[in-house]
Amino acid sequence: MIVARTRDELARELERLGGPAPDGRARTLGLVPTMGFLHEGHLSLVDAAKDAADAVAVSVFVNPLQFGPGEDLDRYPRNEERDRELLEARGADLVFIPSVETMYPDGEPRVTVDPGPMADVLCGAHRPGHFRGVLTVVARLFGLFRPDVAVFGRKDFQQEVLIRRMVRDLEQGVEIVGGPVVREEDGLAMSSRNAYLSPEERAQAPGIHRSLEEARERVGQGERSAAVIAAGIRERIDAHPLLRTQYAELVHPDTLEPVGTVESGTVAAVAVFCGATRLIDNVSLRPR
């Protein structure tokens, strides 16, 4: 596996990877953007990228632009050596690990991607500027890699929706593939931030997913009111002493607009403080 740290290394190695495929056509490139401290959720996206493209590149970059003041930029978990081993074992062809200076050689970019009103809801309502930072770094990575395909996890549901929208609205010509949420055995969505949890918090954290599963069951039994389902999720989560719901909302899967009645594909999305750690999760609902 190639490790590139500078723009020159990246350009050189991408050129080598882009040679002709065995059948003579140009090799396609799949990109998996991450912030590192990798787990099975990230690695499942590498598998999806391998299915969708001839060569797979992964970026590992903790993007300062997407962190707000008082958030966890300075203590975000990192383990570069382990990330490299995991990616190599999973069959990635290239990993790009730029410094902040490499990624942003002119300092903070003056021109950024405006995510529009779809960033004013769900996580965006509580993290001003977050999705501007995400879309800006993803657009920059698309420019650096020129991938044919890029893979994003559904765990970050709003992020995936906004990236699909950016690619469409800005004609970026990258195929977006979404990967399902990968969970621990007890249902907790895998996240690099789970490393922050104390044993007591970790023991209560699966209550987040259980509340979403229960919502799915109620919908399966015939409940169609989004308000009733959302209130049930919140109540179930907040019954845990160490969990506090920031939002629990039912939205349209493509527009992120709130729904009154649950339809097929309606997404139930939550952000929950588990102690001081903010975790997110979501499920897709299917009325009978």
> What residues line the site for ligand AMP (CB under 6 A)?
34-35, 41-42, 44-45, 152-153, 155-156, 179, 181-182, 189-192
Q: To the nearest whole angstrom, how small is the minimum distance from the Cβ of residue 160 to ligand AMP? A: 7
CB 128 within 8 A of CB 70: no
CB 27 within 8 A of CB 68: no
Instruction: Supply the residues annotated as catalytic.
Output: 42
Q: To the nearest whole angstrom, how small is the minimum distance from the Cβ of residue 106 to ligand AMP? A: 23
Task: Tell me whether residue 94 or residue 190 sits nearer to ligand AMP (CB atom).
Answer: 190
CB 268 within 8 A of CB 212: yes
Task: Tell me whether residue 8 or residue 71 sits nearer to ligand AMP (CB atom).
Answer: 71
Q: To the nearest whole angstrom, how small is the minimum distance from the Cβ of residue 77 to ligand AMP? A: 10
Q: To the nearest whole angstrom, how small is the minimum distance from the Cβ of residue 164 to ligand AMP? A: 12
Task: Tell me whether residue 191 or residue 204 sits nearer to ligand AMP (CB atom).
Answer: 191
93, 271, 286: which is closest to 193 by C-alpha? Answer: 271
- C-alpha torsion angle, residues 108, 114, 120, 124 (rounded to 10): -40
Residue 110 to residue 131: CA distance in whole angstroms: 16
- Strands 94-96, 2-4: parallel, antiparallel or unpaired by DSSP? parallel
Task: Tell me whether residue 63 or residue 245 sits nearer to ligand AMP (CB atom).
Answer: 63
Residue 98 to residue 102: CA distance in whole angstroms: 6
